Amino acid sequence: MIRIGTSGFSYDDWVGEVYPADLPQRDWLSFYARLFSAVEINVTYYRIPALYTIESWVRKTPPDFLFAVKAFQDLTHGRETPDFKPFVESLHPLVEARKFGCVLAQFPYSFHPSPQNRDYLKTVRAGLGELPAVIEFRDVRWVEDETFELLRELNFGFCSVDEPRLPGLMPPVALATGPVAYVRFHGRNAAKWYGHDEAWERYNYSYRPEELQEWVPKLQRLNEEAPLTLVFMNNHYRGQSIKGAQDLQRMLPPDAAG
């Protein structure tokens, strides 16, 4: 099954674009869940949410809704003395409700392919236990057979990305190495990828139909190779990710997209 959604749902600039102006913020997730069956949660990268927050996510979404949860930054960017227990325990309400899709462990560009960092991936697997997880690399040098073999050995998914075709950035490799196939659409705003004043400028991009169509056969192949494929649009400025996700959803066969 292919689940399509967006990277995050709580954006002030979606008011009037996605959410009705009079819709209380507490109802944003419930509104979003009427559009899509999955969401990628990014707030967990900055802090581990309180238990009541995660329990509210469960209450506000349908029984078949799925959450992909970005790993806490100390686990991917700090890495010196990682403590996985608080993060893993925070996921229990999602796991118990059968609404947990996977962990997204997004590493920085400085996480280069080296024996030390390959060993750290083993530390991540040990820390997460048997939770399904996906690894997003930023350094293009990870794109090699040795990496994919290691991911398969550790039962990690590989995060495929669509982003500007700039030197050093990850190419649009679509590959399933674990039980969850994963794709993130970052937009193709090459002009603002590096030269921006505000972070949102990098993701200010609307996908054209022909750009999304490039991914349809890739997604269908991932759907055949993995039990679950999660696809998230990260070009979130002013709700552009919503339109991109809906457009892509319409391009897929009805029996493929959930």
174 closest CA partner among 231, 222, 236, 244: 222
Q: Is residue 256 part of a domain?
A: no
Cβ contacts of residue 80 below 8 Å, gap of 6+? none
Q: Is residue 188 part of a domain?
A: yes
Q: Is residue 206 part of a domain?
A: yes
Q: Is residue 257 part of a domain?
A: no
Q: Is residue 200 part of a domain?
A: yes
Rounded distance between C-alpha atoms, residue 33 and residue 39, angstroms:
8
| Domain around 199 | 2-251
Write down the mean pLDDT value for the chain.
Answer: 95
**How confident is the model over 148-164, as pLDDT tens digits?**
999 999 999 999 999 99
**How confident is the model over 44-61, as pLDDT tens digits?**
999 999 999 999 999 999
Q: How far is CA 79 from the centre of its chain?
A: 20
Q: Is residue 258 part of a domain?
A: no
* Domains: count for the chain: 1
What's 192's domain CATH number? 3.20.20.410
**How confident is the model over 105-118, as pLDDT tens digits?**
999 999 999 999 99
The answer to whether residue 146 scores a pLDDT higher than 70 is: yes
pLDDT at 244: 96
Contact indicator for 233, 14 with CB cutoff of 8 Å: no
Cβ contacts of residue 76 below 8 Å, gap of 6+? 105, 106, 107, 108, 111
Q: What is the pTM of this model?
A: 0.95
Q: Is residue 117 part of a domain?
A: yes
pLDDT at 257: 66
